[in-house]
Amino acid sequence: GARVLLDIAPSDVAAYKTARRQAGASAGTVNRELGLARHAYNLAKREWEWTSRNPFEMVRSEIEPKGRDRWLRDEEEVLLLATCPRWLGDLVELALETGMRLGELLGLERKNVDLVRKVIYVEAGTAKNALPRSIPLSARAEATVRELYGRNSTASRSVFATRKGRMITEGTVNRAFRRSRQRAGLADFRFHDLRHTFATRLCQ
């Protein structure tokens, strides 16, 4: 507003934190907002010399709860795949083998899957961080893609498409995944946790 940088005190930052939490913002959201303001103040202080101090550095961040650590055990994977329709099983297997997000998988086009070099190319803008990257295909991932191509000879550009060649929506996947998860008796497990499973297995 009308206040200059030197007018902002640590007490103002603390009051902002309190107001945001009372408005329903999570600790993580408040910390991201404080981090952005802290960075802006550092630019003003170090590079532009508009102020001699940064009040955001004098206020502690909010304590964030520990994140979920849910991943699929081998026996749970067997149960889940047994309850999935074939098209969903293909998605699950490729997610487990590549660590790709659901949106990336559904937006994947055949031109970006190189079965000769055994690589998937994720184009800029389709990934969450907007950066292109290449993902090596494991033997299982390659077999899944080849089997999928063998069953689906549609002219659709998408790797995952309906029988009529249309893209599958995230809503359709999530509804089918919830049903399969319930039939498998898996509690507290989401499609995105397949990505966590990939990362955990990679570390192991």
pLDDT beyond 60 at 51: yes
Report yes or no: 188 and 70 within 8 Å, Cβ to Cβ: yes
Provide the whole-model pTM: 0.67
What does the pLDDT read at residue 171?
A: 95
166-192, pLDDT tens digit by residue? 889 999 999 999 999 999 999 889 999
pLDDT beyond 80 at 68: no
Give 156's pLDDT tier (boundaries 50, 70, 90): confident
Question: In the beta sheet, which residues pair with residue 136?
Answer: 119
Which among 64, 54, 60, 53 is positioned nearest to 14, based on CA atoms?
60
